[in-house]
Amino acid sequence: MSHMEFSHPYFGAFFLLVFSFFLFLIVVNLSNYLGKKLSRSNDEKLKLTIYECGFPVTKQPNRFSSHFYLYALLFILFDVEIIFMFPWAVNFEYLGMFGFVEMILFILLLTIGFVYAWNKGALEWHSIK
């Protein structure tokens, strides 16, 4: 008999994990290969045309300002502050002075980040012209 032990309680789960991983790789690669072989590549002009109505397609520069994304990122950053403040407020009496000092340091750190973003001009809205 070999040195491998097939009677281990987790052998079946490990085998299914490895088998499903390789099966996943085979299916993805097979579908990618079949998609490339079965697709028609001479239809590119038809894909770019407008269906039934509308103006002809022209390539235009992106008109969305990056400031939208910067504001969203800053909103998420400072919104996470509330997520960390809620459990602190619920357990305020239990945490005592240590919890109070920790929250003051946390708010101070966020305030430094806010002032830094403000000084860098991240909150200034520039014209899109």
In the chain, the domains with their CATH numbers are: 66-119 (1.20.58.1610)
The pLDDT of residue 73: 82
* Predicted TM-score (pTM) of this structure: 0.44
The pLDDT of residue 129: 46
CA torsion sign, 106 to 107 to 109 to 114? Answer: positive
Please, are residues 74 and 117 in contact by the beta-carbon 8 Å criterion? Answer: yes
